[in-house]
Amino acid sequence: MTQTSNLQLVLGSTSPFRKEVLNKLNIPFETDKPLVDETPLENETAIELVERLAVLKAEAVASRWENAIVIGSDQVALFNEQILGKPHTHENAIKQLKSFSGNKVTFLTGLAVINTETHETYSLVEPFEVHFKDLTDCEIEQYLLAEQPYNCAGSFKSEALGICLFEKLVGNDPNALIGLPLIKLVELLKKHNYSILAQQQS
């Protein structure tokens, strides 16, 4: 198999949180914003949606790069099998967090990696569960006023003060909660013969 250590690594996202996660691997990379239609297809499941969008985002960025390995990612949060939307208002955020109290929200992160030389694509979906504490009205109000997460699906920022709302986190990789599961990413990169550890020596 051809070595790919000489290929440029590109993160198909301009999210500062995903960028921060990828920095943990101690390798140089570029970022590029994917522009794709994220509208769900008819009868598409949440798992199908996030994997399809991760691939679409990787493909959109890959079309602009040569000699590169491109990472695409997408995430949705589910509660009672329904995809969570953004609250937009304080009142809607209160309703969402009240419904989560003592319950579980599942995050699904789609991950795709494309080699622009071979056009090979590998993708998967990584689940992660957030279990909420029994929240009082006062705690919900204090949190929302402090963080104002009205443009965040589910009315909380898991990478920030939202952690105060949680009882426990259940999953294989805590990075998945932030939208970039590194354990699975390392596996997909290895399928492209791109070794993170070998890169440390180059």
Distances from the Cα of 178 to the Cα of 18, 42, 162, 164, 194, angstroms: 7, 27, 12, 16, 23
Active-site hit among 37, 74, 137, 173 = 74
| Residue 74 is a catalytic residue | yes
Q: Which of 55, 56, 69, 185 is nearest to 118 (CA)?
A: 69
CA 186 to CA 191: how far, in whole Å? Answer: 9
Q: Are 152 and 92 in contact (CB under 8 A)?
A: no
Looking at the annotation, which residues are catalytic? 74
